[in-house]
A and B are shown apart, each in its own frame.
Chain A
């Protein structure tokens, strides 16, 4: 029998292969579930068509809904990817991860990067669809920046999903959170309503970190009719808020997963 080094400790432990391997697992699992792939690509396209056609009389068009739909894809995929934490727990996969010597942060980052990768793959497919059907108005640099911002948003939302799902024992519970918290968060991000306005709703929109993701994408990824961007927050603000959003949720995910408790079992 071959000898296996057993002197690995926290400082020398090869943590990045753990991140990579767990992220890879998410992607492989996703691709093996055909209906998930179909639903993930089909649903946002249907939403986009319906909203754009339905609200055409209000001067809101395919171009207007494009960035919002991109964010919706990121939101839904990221969130559904992290629901798998609940399945991992219930189906038992998580228990063997929890007793392994791999550092907890690597486990969390693997899960989040896996979810974010799935979200990005689908968002890029949708981006290509918009490009082909409506035409791309952004320059190449803007487009690259836009894709990077999408990645930041994807990480933030996957982190949000992780924090919500970690202590949860059923996917049903997650669906409740989805309808009372995540869906309104998307609706109130400027993805749906035109930005601006006044009153409490405008304040909610302003305090919603996702607003800055949507606004940033409106500025960077212009597909079809040029969007009205005058009333939007500046690009710099969009970047700062989105990066902070992602950083806070990454840290929160790490923190929540690092605390061992009896609740790790179910």
Chain B
């Protein structure tokens, strides 16, 4: 029996006036996966998040979540979906437990069950002691944990998180990931999140790399890295364009100027380092050799750097 799908996106497009934010996106997220949408700002991942979280309606295309059609069975999806927004969604004037109580009622929880779930979630995020505190008095990291408790309060089978590491120090970030993996293992919760942090994406089972509203790549982190042709070699030079042209003329090896440096991918990178240094001793200021990173994957698939490189 094939693995059931948590999310099926088919030819999804979304426009804001003239600007296309999501452009004909199709992909599938399997149940029980930790799935990351990775992309720089403006890649369309936030718009996609808004559509998947049911905040904005679908303009064109089709989305099925948890076996329900997102457009026609929105409430069935909402019942089983936990959402953690990037922007804070807590009422700062209320206490932690008041926030969770309101949230629970919005999801149809009440009475004993609601109290029990509130306690469970607060203890899971390590905030039982702060239940009676006004949210305003909590640190940013604690507020993020309350957000997480809020999103998981009704025991959803799919959790959507938008840039969950925003405002978290490295320690809290590690805690968050540990907890996300725990609920995935223990409760089989499918976890889908967006991020612009390359190192965060490494922790996912599969990564969808988004660029300009389209899917640039979709695979496991290991497979993505392996897909880049060998090692990545970076040359700094006073005149990168001329150097790239000269390198290509000599070996026709697809050297390209990316972000002010000449970049090429080749197997046996160490041999290329000596070859290049011997051939262009004066033109090259420095040579960097590295195993491919997700950024190399991104450059490879999109032809530009991760952080807004227009050159």
Contacts and interface: CB of A to CB of B under 8 A. Distances in A.
User: Is the pairing of A and B real?
Assistant: yes
A2 B56 contact: no
Contacts of B150: 96
A265 B50 contact: yes
Interface in B200-229: none
Contacts of B109: 4
Interface in B37-93: 50, 53-57, 75-76, 78-81, 83, 85, 87-93
A6 B80 contact: yes
Interface in B156-197: 157, 186-187
B79 A102 contact: no
Contact of A28 (B16, B76, B88, B98): B98
A262 B56 CA distance: 6
Interface residues of A, number: 38
A8 B108 contact: yes
B137 interface: no
A91 B75 CA distance: 24
A213 B152 CA distance: 46
Contacts of A3: 155
Nearest to B160: A99
Contact of A264 (B56, B81, B154): B56
Nearest to B104: A21
Nearest to B53: A99
Given A92-B87, A260-B56, A99 B78 contact: yes
Interface stretch (B24-32, B113-121, B300-308): B113-121
A1 B108 contact: no
A100 B50 contact: no
B189 to A, nearest CB: 10
A3 B157 CA distance: 11
Interface residues of B, number: 44
Contacts of B155: 1-4, 6
Contact of A93 (B55, B91, B108, B134): B91
Interface string A16-53: 01101110010011001100000000000000000000
Contacts of A92: 85, 87-90
A179 interface: no
Nearest to B134: A32
Interface string A79-112: 0000000000001110111111110000000000
Given A1-B187, A100-B78, A260-B56, A25 B91 contact: yes
A27 to B, nearest CB: 12
Contacts of B113: 2, 4
Given A4-B155, A10-B75, A32 B106 contact: no
B101 interface: yes
Contacts of B187: 1
Nearest to A4: B155
Nearest to A20: B105
A99 B105 contact: no
B107 interface: yes
A25 B99 CA distance: 9
B87 A25 contact: no
Contact of B83 (A1, A13, A93, A96): A96
Contacts of A98: 54-55
24 contacts: A2-B113, A2-B116, A4-B109, A5-B108, A6-B79, A9-B75, A9-B79, A17-B110, A18-B106, A20-B105, A21-B102, A28-B93, A33-B93, A91-B91, A92-B87, A93-B91, A95-B55, A96-B150, A99-B54, A100-B103, A101-B75, A102-B108, A261-B57, A262-B56
Given A13-B75, A20-B105, A29-B91, 13 more contacts: A2-B116, A2-B120, A4-B113, A6-B157, A17-B105, A18-B106, A22-B102, A25-B102, A28-B93, A92-B85, A96-B150, A98-B54, A262-B16
